Amino acid sequence: MIQLATAPPRTPEELAERCLAAGMAIDRPVSEGDLTEILEFIPHWLAVADADTDEQRAVLLNALLASASAHPRVTDHADGGWHIHYRDDGLGLGAVLRAVVSVGTALHLTGRGMHRLGRCTLAECGRVYADFTRGGRQRYCCHACANRDAVRRHRARRAAGRERAQRVAQGRVAGGEASGDGETVACGVPNGRGDGRRHSRRPA
């Protein structure tokens, strides 16, 4: 689902191909209606990922489950071995996918932690991730985004440090001029930049 939400399919064929590639069995022809259904479903699922609190997330997810899932039943269709469907039989791919994603999201969040779904912290990325990490503290969709943000924060810290140093230096100069005698302030500047000249100009 994350892939479909990140780059929504443009045609029913593309939707079918991507579901097959993800290991889903497709028993019925995929229609324009299936595609429309999924494109309409994506923002509702993203709202679950964007929920601010666990309670809000549960409310939104329960609404999806109510409209997408049905009572569980045991089936062995498509030679896949016995397994559970949380949906009615004979549905199109759009409805199947909505049920699979809603139930899958519910199982993931209740099994591993309600907070384990979110958006990448990198501002310009914003991709959704499902957190399967051991510690459950994932904040980025991938290592590339985490690295890029780490480099950016490091540079921002360095720039802020330089700015602070500049301000301190300027403050010293300004303080020296304002104090009139300048003995304690200007003389103490270790880099010696311009101190000599400033002192020589003073009527000491």
Q: Kindly state the helix (H) or strand (E) to which residue 111 belongs, with its residue range.
A: helix 93-112
Is the Cα dihedral 174, 176, 179, 184 positive or negative? Answer: positive
Beta-strand runs (E) in 68-195 = 73-75, 83-85, 117-119, 128-130
Closest CA to 119 of 20, 197, 50: 50
Select 1 or 185, whichever has its Cβ closest to Zn ion: 1
Q: How far is the CB of 143 from Zn ion (least distance, A)?
A: 10
Select 60 or 141, whichever has its Cβ closest to Zn ion: 141
Q: Kindly state the helix (H) or strand (E) to which residue 180 belongs, with its residue range.
A: none
Q: Kindly state the helix (H) or strand (E) to which residue 89 belongs, with its residue range.
A: none
The four Cα atoms 106, 71, 18, 44 give a dihedral, to 10 degrees, of -50
Binding site for Zn ion (CB under 5 A): 120, 122, 125, 127, 141, 145
C-beta separation of 117 from 138 below 8 A: no
Q: How far is the CB of 20 from Zn ion (least distance, A)?
A: 14
What whole-number distance in Å separates Cα of residue 27 and Cα of residue 103?
20
Select 2 or 189, whichever has its Cβ closest to Zn ion: 2
Q: With H, G, I as helix, E, B as strand and everything else as coil, classify residue 46.
A: helix
